[in-house]
Structure 1
Amino acid sequence: MRSLMRFIRAASLAALAFVPGVAAAEPLKVGYSDWPGWVAWQVAIDKGWFKEAGVDVQFEWFDYSASMEAFGAGKIDAVTVTNGDTLVMGAGGSKGVMIMLTDYSNGNDMIVGKPGLKTLKDLKGKKVGLESGLVEHLLILNGLEKAGMKDTDVEIVNVKTNDTPQVFTDAAISAVGAWQPVAGQAMKAAPGARPLYTSADQPGLIYDVVTVSPASLAARKEDWAKFVAVWDKVVAFISDPKTQGEAVKMMATRSGVPPEEYVRFLKGTKLLSLADGAKVFKDADGFGSLYGSSRYADAFNVKFGVYKDAQDVKSYIDPSIAQAH
């Protein structure tokens, strides 16, 4: 899993590293990583929209697991993660509160099989490289269940997502789990490779969120409200055909991917306006609700030993800021 033990150790440092009453003059520190729904924030950064909104925000770029570790160590106030991985951090001692949704994964998370493999059933008895215990692990087990297979039908090899393109060249690995743009890099490493199962096969399974430390949220809720309010400008700018090209260039530059390639990733990430996100904040079961999706992820995490005890999902969600817009 994405270094769950490191999260636990980091949590013990957080009490020393994080000062709850941080001065208002300090910027909000937000960790983000290479996922289209989070790279979207680059538009607001480059356009200077946070300054216009009257809030000082400092974004810090990480590999995904490193961003979670930084959050656990109290080095940043907030982090962009999946809803399920917010629970993983919390169970490890690094509690966070989801205050807004950026998107849901609509195909960009995928299990990629080597040439000759066509469905998940072709993976029976084979090795799959992915980050054990986190989002792609959730994805493959959801797919296996729908295919009438057991989790023991495949052997999971723990590999950091950013390393999956290199691991995919290993003859012993038949498939990897990754998200775009890393998934695309993996497919280039094995010409003829193809997605066997993606998040588009189970919409609403994976929600992407901004998770804030409870201390920062309590101390600076007005600033976080200003931060959230910028999101609709980002979504509108990316969605507008007149400005989408400019937006894609900003995002592609941040990710180090050619714009003509990056624009395709937008289709696999369903950006959610604040109004769209407010609907997902409803407390209901099923994948159309952040609560329902998070409960599914929580059950998965306990069943497969990601952490021991079920989490109080409601305590991880504060819809008040997003629903106020």
Structure 2
Amino acid sequence: MFEMISRRALMGQFGAAGLLTLSGCSGQQGSAKGAINIATAAGSFNMTIAALMKQQGFMESLGLHPNAIAVSDGAKILASVVSGSVDIAPLSGFSQIFPAIERGAQVRILSAATLTPMLALFSGKPGVRTLKDLEGKNVGSGAMGSLVHQLTVTLLRKYGIDVSTIRFINLGSNTDVFKGVMAGTVDAGLGPASYVPDAEIYKVHALEHGDMSVELPDFTYQAGWTSTHAIATKRDELVRTLAAYATLFRFLGQPEAKEAFLKARRSVFPSAPEREHESEWAFLQKTKPLAKDLIISPERVEYMQKINVEFKAQKEVLPYDRVVDTSIAEAALKLLDKT
């Protein structure tokens, strides 16, 4: 039985990511022409992506007026999408979507975003070097069933680790978890996979077989999703939003995007060492994790649902057409072909 400890109990010393306005457009009315309310999962990479999107003006070039927030809890994003206060979550974990649809929620996956996890398991404890060493230890995580928790358990199960012996500590987002690892609050936890080559900077080390970008290639890390109401009432804005993200994803696949990426990341993390910025760029170029063609395959959707079934988060694998609407992504790609 997994034991989750309140984030409040252990993370008082860390600032919660909460809701962070990134676009500077928080006063924008959702009903205005081209206005789009966007929520993404909080995390260092997504914060950089948001800064880069604004810096390059990709959304504005498509006639959009984005109001973007970063949210530390995937359940809160889902609630915001269902309520209509958020129009689209274009860059967020999505395992919670399937059980929500199973229970009758009118939400749909629109696109793939990050095809592989961009995280790895780290520890600052000298005696914790392998996944096996985590048995009986405290491991930083998110809430039960969250993306951070699900990724960690999926990797451990792959290598036959007895997760029933592990005490999972709810610290929040992967950014908060990594802070806990550095502080020694937990014995291990997730952090950016781009930190693996230079982990000693943070006085931690990567665990053997802990790089999820290598170990879990079929685990789609983030997707784009929305409500059926938004599909019906804000279709044009959704199409242009996905077109902007596809433009950004393709831009990041080009070597000439390096300086723009580094500028955006420095603006978000001005005190981070230059090696960290460079490592993040090198990781992106090596792994190519972004879904520049947007479409999420039936195989990837089925894989994610099977994990949910194993976690008892949903009863059965749902048909692809019941959970995915590819028409928005297809229209976005056609729009890009015209521009």
Normalising by structure 1, we get a TM-score of 0.75
CA spacing shift, 1:34–1:163, aligned 2, 3 Å: closer
SS in structure 1 of the partner of residue 247 of structure 2: helix
Residue 219 of structure 2 aligns with which residue? Answer: 205
The match for 2:327 among 313, 320, 324 is 320
In the TM superposition, residue 235 of structure 1 has moved relative to its aligned partner by: 2.3
> Does the CA-based 8 Å contact 1:49-1:230 persist in structure 2?
yes
Q: Percent identity of the aligned residues?
A: 16
The match for 2:127 among 85, 109, 116 is 116
Q: Name stretches of at least 5 consecutive residues in structure 1 with no aligned partner.
A: 4-21
CA spacing shift, 1:139–1:217, aligned 2, 3 Å: same
Residue 135 of structure 1 aligns with which residue? Answer: 147
> Does the CA-based 8 Å contact 1:28-1:56 persist in structure 2?
yes
Aligned partner of 1:82: which letter?
G
Residue 13 of structure 1 aligns with which residue? Answer: none
> Does the CA-based 8 Å contact 1:295-1:313 persist in structure 2?
no
The match for 2:288 among 258, 264, 270 is 270
In the TM superposition, residue 41 of structure 1 has moved relative to its aligned partner by: 4.2
In the TM superposition, residue 28 of structure 1 has moved relative to its aligned partner by: 0.8
Question: C-alpha offsets along residues 44-88 of structure 1, whole Å, 9 cap, x if unaligned?
Answer: 322222222123322223334554554455432222311324346
The match for 2:305 among 271, 275, 295 is 295
Aligned partner of 1:209: which letter?
A
In the TM superposition, residue 120 of structure 1 has moved relative to its aligned partner by: 0.5
Structural mapping, 1:133-172, within 5 Å = 133-161=145-173, 162-168=175-181
Q: How many residues are treated as equivalent by the alignment? A: 293
In the TM superposition, residue 244 of structure 1 has moved relative to its aligned partner by: 1.6
> Does the CA-based 8 Å contact 1:112-1:175 persist in structure 2?
yes
CA spacing shift, 1:134–1:321, aligned 2, 3 Å: same
> Does the CA-based 8 Å contact 2:122-2:204 persist in structure 1?
no
> Does the CA-based 8 Å contact 2:98-2:305 persist in structure 1?
no
Distance in 2 (alpha carbons) for counterparts of 1:205 and 1:94:
23
Q: Does 1:59 align with 2:74?
A: no
Distance in 1 (alpha carbons) for counterparts of 2:235 and 2:274:
36
Q: Name stretches of at least 5 consecutive residues in structure 2 with no aligned partner.
A: 7-29, 334-339
The match for 2:35 among 13, 24, 27 is 27
CA spacing shift, 1:309–1:166, aligned 2, 3 Å: same
In the TM superposition, residue 194 of structure 1 has moved relative to its aligned partner by: 2.2
Distance in 2 (alpha carbons) for counterparts of 1:74 and 1:156:
33
CA spacing shift, 1:240–1:98, aligned 2, 3 Å: same
Normalising by structure 2, we get a TM-score of 0.72
Distance in 1 (alpha carbons) for counterparts of 2:132 and 2:222:
28
Distance in 2 (alpha carbons) for counterparts of 1:245 and 1:282:
32
> Does the CA-based 8 Å contact 1:231-1:273 persist in structure 2?
no
In the TM superposition, residue 219 of structure 1 has moved relative to its aligned partner by: 0.9
Q: Does 1:100 align with 2:100?
A: no
Residue 45 of structure 1 aligns with which residue? Answer: 54
SS in structure 1 of the partner of residue 276 of structure 2: helix
Distance in 1 (alpha carbons) for counterparts of 2:185 and 2:276:
29
Residue 36 of structure 1 aligns with which residue? Answer: 45
In the TM superposition, residue 169 of structure 1 has moved relative to its aligned partner by: 6.0
